[in-house]
């Protein structure tokens, strides 16, 4: 019985355990890995793929795919820097880029997919090429420097340690109150609460808060992109779990025809999802341009693959209908930690590619195995 | 009398929980057409799948004799080699290949280098087509470009190319025009002369009279009566064999009063989804009343499902005509509109069209009432209200599950059906349409569903049920509409309807009006 529960826990949290084991192993293998400075760096690197991954999770949840996100990163970076070159202030250029680049590309993809049922793979593959071409055309093929110095804050600034600690503290208090409320609620409705489920959640959350204090509570503090990522991920977790829109996504991915017959507007839902992922990709492009202090038209090449990999490693099913943002965050962290760790250990970048590919294959295999067991 | 080519003895085939074939016995002779008749679900198709090796030995019991020799088919290929060819309703041709390539698929004539001998392929095909008297199909035509009727003839030619001596035709005319049917019958007569033994599955009485030599009836997986020459039996007698006389006493009584008219459908037409000019529903007009259960009967493909899904706004094809709800014209273009107008549709295939298998009972029972469990502006779901709605349905429908978080995929068929019922009850419909509400569930769950429908009608809901099971419609409905080939051909009130009368209209053996 006891053993069974442990096995169940391992199975449902396999990716998280993989992340912990990986982190532990790297901490033992390389003394610089677990410094706050290095971990903070890892966190910042992860945000770029992580933000796209949040959108990609929604797309894959509805059994779609978006291959154009990497190119959107490039276009957004080029457009935002060009706007500033043209004298537009950063605080206008950023939202304008999000709406124009992210919004329009998302609408285009969503329109064809929802209205004419063009396979998402094809229409976004087309957009991958189109958007890259647009980035190259607009920039004339060369890098665009940043004209407005305030723009750099977005990607490179920090929230200092003291406010960071306050933020983490507030988040922890919020978490505890919610936990207490949900526990009392389930007690009230007379349901025998699954004790081990919240218990595992509490341990994971506590470890998360402790790690956040360790990494961001000292040194320079919390990098702004990481803060943005946390806000976006938090919002997405809430939307998927606690809103009508979230329900529509799971319904649409689980059984599109049944969703339609249950009165869900599947066209509208699809368009919103593809617009969201494009806007998030555009945001990633802007953050990247800010941190690099300039935009190359080739920025974001192959990002779509890292984003998809993060989603898949995180346990979201490519068949749609099941998956979580939390899983994607873990997936993105695994990729980020792996990249960082292998570089620290001096593993050749050639081997890095091979290892990353093997891990993705393993994750998909695991997903299929689960599915088969369920079907059988 | 000619030689007995096919004999099936004591065939029994069981699926989990159901005995689909229960001691089936019949024989068919060379050069005759044996009509295999029975209601939907009587076991005809299962029987032919046993013959064709789709259900291989030993997944069934009993013996198959071909030309007196006992046969056991482990694969469809072995059945084919023994001379059995089956033409299913869904044709098995490859649309992108030519007629000749399809006919000789897998047994193409080859030259001495092992490559396909195209000249022989085409001349062989031409010979076959000539033999069958098919003039307007050429060996080089791409199958995709042929009409359904022609494709079916290609299937027949394909069967003959394998020297089939037993040809099974499963409802071959269901998608054919009158002229195509005439062509098909001409070919069937030719095949009779050539000594081919044919088993012909059909619901259509007129056809049977015209083309069959002998008839055998299946009901509930049993052969009813012997194989009878068509000249020795009347259509009424066939129908009597098909429907039986025993209506089980499983329909709870109900004291209800018909209220005012709530739904009126006027001159309603639905286009065929992929056949321009053809109509799936033809000029249907009917009304439904509060506090009444209206039954709709018809054979498969009679347009009953299309009619209700079009009213619900779920049919992709264009519709013409008016739908009035509470006397006002309702412009329903999508299921969302329908739900807003108080219409609910429980679809016939719960797995494909109804359930979210990987989601919980509470997800499944509230998905059609998201506005009721969330804040209007923000769309944030109120967990308490969600739980309350889900638990209400679990309690009132008696859904057997550990809790409302249980995944629907782990439930039994009856409980899954109750989950979908719960979804629509949560939407509080004024008009509740149920397409095959009790298919594939056990008797106990059926009776519970009947009781629920009675209660809904008593509460003033207009209930419309579609069912292939005649006893169900007869036992539950206050009024019954019969559909045949897209049109409403007859209407009965409770007490006036009999299985025989309904079957006569549904099979097109009798018509009123037009």
Backbone angles phi, psi at A341, to 5 degrees: -60, -45
**B205 CB-side CA count, 13 A:** 22
Are A320 and A375 a contacting pair, CB within 8 Å? no
Write the CA distances from B32 to B84, B182, B192, B234, integer angstroms. 15, 18, 6, 19
Are B86 and B168 a contacting pair, CB within 8 Å? yes
A16 exposed, middle or buried (CB, 10 Å; 0-12, 13-18, 19+)?
Answer: buried
Looking only at the bridges linking them, the beta strands covering B33-37 and B214-219 are parallel
- The H-or-E segment that residue B466 falls in is strand B462-466
CB contact under 8 A, B339 and A263: yes
CB contact under 8 A, B379 and A244: yes
Successive 10-residue mean pLDDT values, chain B, 514 residues: 88 78 91 86 84 89 92 90 86 88 86 87 90 86 86 87 89 77 89 92 82 90 87 83 63 83 94 82 94 91 90 90 93 93 92 91 95 91 93 91 88 87 95 89 78 93 90 90 92 87 84 53
Contacts of A242 in chain B (CB under 8 A): 380-381, 383
Are B321 and B269 a contacting pair, CB within 8 Å? yes
Report the pLDDT value the prediction gives residue B296, as an integer from 0 to 100: 95
Count other C-beta atoms under 10 Å from residue B137's C-beta: 19
Residue window 253-272, chain A: list those with CB within 8 Å of chain B.
Answer: 254-255, 257-265
Report the pLDDT value the prediction gives residue B489, as an integer from 0 to 100: 92
DSSP bridge pairs for A152: none
Chain A residue closest in CA terms to B403: A191
CB contact under 8 A, B358 and A248: no
Report the pLDDT value the prediction gives residue A226, as an integer from 0 to 100: 94
Are B53 and B73 a contacting pair, CB within 8 Å? yes
Are B478 and B293 a contacting pair, CB within 8 Å? yes
Contacts of B409 in chain A (CB under 8 A): 374
Contacts of A264 in chain B (CB under 8 A): 336, 367
Report the pLDDT value the prediction gives residue A1, as an integer from 0 to 100: 47
If DSSP codes are grouped into helix, strand and coil, which group holds residue A376? coil
Are A247 and A36 a contacting pair, CB within 8 Å? no
Sole residue written with tokens 């549709």 = B345
Give the minimum alpha-carbon distance from B444 to chain A in angstroms, rounded to a whole number: 26
CB contact under 8 A, A247 and B363: yes
Which residue ranges of chain A lie beneath pLDDT 70? 1-5, 185-198, 370-376
CB contact under 8 A, B336 and A263: yes
Looking only at the bridges linking them, the beta strands covering B197-201 and B214-219 are unpaired
Top residue of B370, B394, B405, B434 to mutate, by most chain A CBs within 10 Å, is: B370
B428 vs B344: CA distance, rounded Å: 8
CB contact under 8 A, A244 and B352: no
A300 vs A294: CA distance, rounded Å: 13
B115 is written with which tokens?
A: 């490559």
Residue length, chain B?
A: 514
B15 vs A192: CA distance, rounded Å: 39
> What percent of chain A stands above pLDDT 70?
93
Give the minimum alpha-carbon distance from B315 to chain A in angstroms, rounded to a whole number: 10
CA gyration radius, chain A: 21
User: Does any CB of chain B come closer than 8 Å to the CB of residue A248?
Assistant: yes
Q: CA B400, B406, B412, B413 torsion: positive or negative?
A: positive
Query: Could you tell me where the DSSP H helices lie in chain A?
Result: 2-12, 14-29, 36-61, 69-85, 90-97, 104-116, 120-139, 152-156, 161-188, 196-216, 224-242, 244-254, 256-261, 266-292, 303-313, 325-344, 349-375
Report the pLDDT value the prediction gives residue B286, as an integer from 0 to 100: 95
A329 vs A339: CA distance, rounded Å: 15
ipTM of this predicted complex?
Answer: 0.86
CB contact under 8 A, B353 and A185: no
User: Does any CB of chain A come closer than 8 Å to the CB of residue B338?
Assistant: yes
Contacts of A321 in chain B (CB under 8 A): 356, 358-359
Backbone angles phi, psi at A313, to 5 degrees: -60, -35
CB contact under 8 A, A258 and B335: no
Give the minimum alpha-carbon distance from B403 to chain A in angstroms, rounded to a whole number: 9
Report the pLDDT value the prediction gives residue A376, as an integer from 0 to 100: 35
Per DSSP, A99 falls in state: I
């Amino acid at each position: 019985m006891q053993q069974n529960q442990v096995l169940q826990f391992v199975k449902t949290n396999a990716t998280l355990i993989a992340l912990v084991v990986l982190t532990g192993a790297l901490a033992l293998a390389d003394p610089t890995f677990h410094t706050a400075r290095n971990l903070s760096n890892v966190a910042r690197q992860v945000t770029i793929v992580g933000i796209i991954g949040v959108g990609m999770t929604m797309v894959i949840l509805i059994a779609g795919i978006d291959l154009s996100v990497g190119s959107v990163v490039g276009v957004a970076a080029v457009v935002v820097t060009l706007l500033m070159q043209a004298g537009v202030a950063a605080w206008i250029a950023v939202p304008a880029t999000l709406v124009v680049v992210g919004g329009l590309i998302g609408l285009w993809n969503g329109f064809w997919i929802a209205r004419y049922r063009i396979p998402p793979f094809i229409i976004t593959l087309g957009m991958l090429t189109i958007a890259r071409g647009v980035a190259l055309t607009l920039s004339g093929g060369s890098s665009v420097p940043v004209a407005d110095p305030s723009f750099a804050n977005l990607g490179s600034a920090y929230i200092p340690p003291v406010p960071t600690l306050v933020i983490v503290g507030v988040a922890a208090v919020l978490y505890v109150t919610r936990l207490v409320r949900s526990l009392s609620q389930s007690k009230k409705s007379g349901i025998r609460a699954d004790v081990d489920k919240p218990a595992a959640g509490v341990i994971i959350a506590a470890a998360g808060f402790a790690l956040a204090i360790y990494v961001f509570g000292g040194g320079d503090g919390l990098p702004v992109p990481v803060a943005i990522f946390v806000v976006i991920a938090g919002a997405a977790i809430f939307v998927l779990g606690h809103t009508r829109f979230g329900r529509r996504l799971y319904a649409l991915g689980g059984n599109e025809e049944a969703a339609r017959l249950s009165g869900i507007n599947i066209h509208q839902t699809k368009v919103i999802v593809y617009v969201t992922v494009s806007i998030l990709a555009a945001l990633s492009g802007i953050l990247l341009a800010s941190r690099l202090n300039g935009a190359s038209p080739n920025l974001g090449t192959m990002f779509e693959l890292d984003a998809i990999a993060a989603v898949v490693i995180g346990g979201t099913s490519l068949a749609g209908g099941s998956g979580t943002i939390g899983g994607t965050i873990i997936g993105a962290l695994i990729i980020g930690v792996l990249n960082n760790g292998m570089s620290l250990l001096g593993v050749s970048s050639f081997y890095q590619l091979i290892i990353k590919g093997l891990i993705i294959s393993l994750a998909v295999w695991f997903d299929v195995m689960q599915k088969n067991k369920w079907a059988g | 009398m000619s030689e007995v080519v096919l004999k099936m003895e004591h065939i029994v085939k069981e699926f989990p929980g159901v005995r689909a074939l229960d001691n089936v016995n019949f024989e068919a002779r060379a050069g005759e057409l044996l009509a295999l008749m029975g209601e939907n679900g009587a076991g005809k198709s299962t029987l032919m799948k046993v013959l064709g090796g789709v259900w291989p030995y030993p997944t069934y019991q009993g013996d198959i004799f071909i030309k007196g020799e006992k046969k056991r088919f482990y694969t469809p290929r072995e059945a084919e080699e023994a001379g059995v060819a089956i033409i299913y309703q869904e044709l098995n041709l490859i649309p992108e290949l030519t007629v000749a390539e399809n006919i000789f698929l897998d047994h193409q004539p080859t030259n001495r280098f092992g490559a396909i001998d195209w000249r022989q392929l085409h001349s062989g095909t031409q010979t076959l087509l000539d033999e069958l008297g098919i003039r307007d199909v050429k060996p080089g035509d791409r199958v995709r470009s042929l009409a359904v009727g022609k494709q079916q003839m290609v299937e027949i030619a394909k069967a003959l190319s394998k020297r089939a001596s037993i040809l099974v035709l499963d409802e071959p005319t269901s998608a054919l025009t009158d002229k195509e049917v005439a062509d098909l019958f001409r070919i069937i007569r030719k095949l009779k002369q050539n000594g081919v033994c044919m088993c012909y599955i059909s619901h259509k009485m007129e056809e049977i009279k015209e083309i069959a030599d002998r008839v055998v009836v299946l009901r509930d997986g049993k052969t009813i009566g012997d194989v009878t020459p068509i000249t020795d039996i009347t259509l009424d007698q066939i129908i009597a064999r098909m429907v039986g006389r025993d209506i089980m006493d499983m329909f709870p009584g109900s004291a209800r009063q018909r209220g005012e008219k709530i739904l009126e459908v006027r001159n309603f037409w639905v286009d065929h989804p992929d056949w321009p000019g053809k109509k799936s529903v033809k000029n249907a007009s009917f009304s439904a009343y509060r506090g009444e259960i209206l039954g709709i009967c018809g054979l498969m493909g009679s347009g009953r499902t299309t009619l209700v899904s079009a009213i619900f706004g779920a049919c992709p094809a264009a519709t013409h005509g008016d739908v009035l709800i509470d006397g006002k014209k309702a412009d329903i273009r999508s299921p969302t509109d329908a739900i807003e107008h108080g219409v609910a549709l429980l679809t016939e295939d719960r797995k494909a069209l109804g359930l979210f298998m990987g989601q919980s009972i509470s997800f499944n029972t509230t998905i059609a009432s998201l506005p009721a469990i969330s804040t209007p502006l923000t769309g944030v779901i109120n967990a308490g209200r969600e739980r309350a709605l889900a638990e209400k349905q679990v309690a009132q429908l008696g859904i057997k599950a550990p809790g409302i978080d249980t995944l629907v995929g782990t439930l039994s068929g009856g409980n899954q059906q109750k989950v979908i019922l719960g979804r629509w009850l949560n939407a509080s419909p004024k008009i509740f349409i149920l397409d095959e509400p009790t298919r594939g569930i056990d008797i106990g769950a059926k009776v519970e569903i009947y009781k629920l429908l009675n209660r809904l009608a008593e509460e003033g809901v207009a209930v419309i049920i579609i069912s292939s099971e005649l006893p169900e419609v007869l036992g539950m409905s206050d009024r019954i509409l019969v559909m045949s080939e897209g049109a409403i051909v007859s209407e009965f009130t409770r007490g006036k309807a009999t299985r025989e009368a309904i079957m006569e209209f549904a099979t097109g053996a009798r018509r009123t009006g037009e």
